[in-house]
Chains A and B, each alone.
Chain A
């Protein structure tokens, strides 16, 4: 295994252990109802799942201690700054598209999402972007409304 992946696994294991502890001691007890008269309490399954996650994460941590990172295997980490920027780009795109969807309706949301998506994906021809962005939502709206009688905003 490469250094980049080992280091990432170490960090992820630490985060998962922290997450498991937070879930078991704070979140689950606060957001699960009290035990009923019969059967297992409602928090048994989530606590068990998180406890197992915590134990497995500890094993993952022990398997990827800093001492195991070989200096000669300098591979890039699976998630880097570029990945976060890539994710943020699409988060912005979806946020805009969904806002337009919820305030202006299905077709407007579709036009914005598809047009912005095509630009983000590298398409630069305005005629093609306009045609696809308008035709796509219209065809889907027609198919869902007239074909399946499905109400859309």
Chain B
């Protein structure tokens, strides 16, 4: 109890609140700009958080992600182009509302639904994570090994366009993660006599290269073929009536069931590794349409459509942290990047997190709840400013982001070699995206490899070099069987359509 109170007290300091506000604000702008997204912003900002305390650092990054998730809806509503992938479903009703002159109304219901969904999943995280971590502590190395293998297979099957390519991406990520020092003998492994490689490849370098810089290079190539977007200034026309610019308490209440349903969907999907916010937003939208008394109005400017999509995609954020905090397994790319932040500050996510850093965890919970309030305030006050951000030319934004990538890679360990490695991963990321080999499973495979190898080594040591112990223990055997069953089921399904 003392740790809980102390943690929440740590979160409610002026310095924390300022950094949280900064994180949320930057996140909204990043999310609003098409081509940029939350995980990219997290990858870029992780090196900067090295100079912050662990609570502020993690809270800042989570605030960034929350802001970006709402920010994605701004471009979706005003330009019919989602700023982030999870805002795609918001376009269906958001853009028609903007064309009717109700763009501000759409943005506000998006904001309120986002904050509500986010708060709901944060509360679920707060109440559910500790008991799950207690159960997870009972797991030994064979169980941890089996869970990681299952998580990798699940993410590869659900996240990637094809199971084969998803698993190939994961295996490539594991191979790259082997560069560095062998965990048992501490001898250089695959370092090619390069001193900088003996330290291993930093997850920040991989994240910035694969997520941020490669995405910009891909986006710049796509933009050559896209038409210019129209002006969005009309949504702030003074001639629009107040009713069309605001959301009344009655309107918000009328969307209450939809927001609650979508929050449940987003939270449930967020807790499972591999199922992202994009799936949640589409499922939430679909469920709202089916449950509506007037389903034909969906797609023509129904505020419930916007509320459903946004509540679902934001409810994923808090729930995504459940497997991260309890098992140390990132369920998506944003959580994978957060692991980098934890590592920088000497904190290891996993079941021992609550025992060794209980006050920090509860501080993070407090900061997450504060971030939701700040998201609401900043979103409301800065709506016009954030909408204006859409008019900044990409010829200005993208070169600045490129230089921020170089800065971030350099800051990872003050080495220019890291910058070269980051470029290498950016080009690799470009190729992976073009070839539809999942870069997400690459990153998650990369991040999970140390834990995977450690648990495997521990399993062999405790069993006196008997790897089949994994099949002799019920829980680990259960997960291996689940993995095999899952791979068999996914292999039977036809490949997903290219998104």
Contacts and interface: CB of A to CB of B under 8 A. Distances in A.
Contacts of A149: 51
Given A31-B192, A42-B184, A118-B396, A79 B164 contact: no
A83 B395 CA distance: 19
Contacts of A90: 217, 220
Contacts of A87: 217, 427, 430
B175 A23 contact: yes
A45 B178 contact: yes
B99 interface: no
A150 interface: yes
B416 A118 contact: no
B457 A40 contact: yes
A115 B402 CA distance: 11
Contacts of A60: 164-165, 168
Residue from the set A45, A109, A148 with the largest chain B CB neighbour count within 10 Å: A45
- The binding surface of chain B is classed by DSSP as helix
Contact of B419 (A93, A101, A115): A101
B171 A121 contact: no
How big is the B interface, by class? Answer: 35 or more
A59 B171 CA distance: 15
Contacts of B234: none
Contacts of A8: 435
B460 interface: yes
Interface string A21-45: 0010001100111001011101101
Contacts of B52: 148
B403 A137 contact: yes
A149 B52 CA distance: 11
Nearest to B188: A33
A94 interface: yes
Contacts of A132: 396, 399-400
B420 interface: yes
Contacts of A5: 436, 498
B423 interface: yes
A115 B400 CA distance: 9
Interface string A142-153: 001000111110
Interface in A97-153: 97-98, 101-102, 106, 109-110, 113-118, 120-123, 128, 132, 136-137, 140, 144, 148-152
A98 B221 contact: no
Contacts of B419: 98, 101
Given A31-B191, A86-B221, A46 B178 contact: yes
Contacts, number: 167
Given A40-B457, A57-B168, A113-B406, A148 B185 contact: no
A52 interface: yes
Contact of B185 (A42, A63, A102, A152): A42
A40 B456 contact: yes
Given A45-B456, A86-B220, A121-B398, A50 B423 contact: no
A148 B172 CA distance: 35
Contact of B436 (A38, A57, A78): A78
B297 interface: no
B386 to A, nearest CB: 20
Contacts of B189: 31-33, 42-43, 46
A109 B217 contact: no
17 contacts: A1-B495, A32-B189, A43-B189, A45-B456, A46-B175, A46-B189, A49-B171, A49-B175, A50-B171, A52-B167, A52-B171, A78-B435, A117-B402, A118-B396, A121-B398, A128-B396, A152-B407
Interface of B: 48, 51-52, 164-165, 167-168, 171-172, 174-175, 178, 182, 184-185, 187-192, 217, 220-221, 393-396, 398-400, 402-404, 406-407, 410-411, 414, 416, 419-420, 423, 427, 430-431, 434-437, 449, 452-453, 456-457, 460-461, 495, 498
Closest 7 CB pairs of A and B: A117-B399, A33-B187, A42-B182, A121-B395, A123-B395, A148-B51, A49-B174
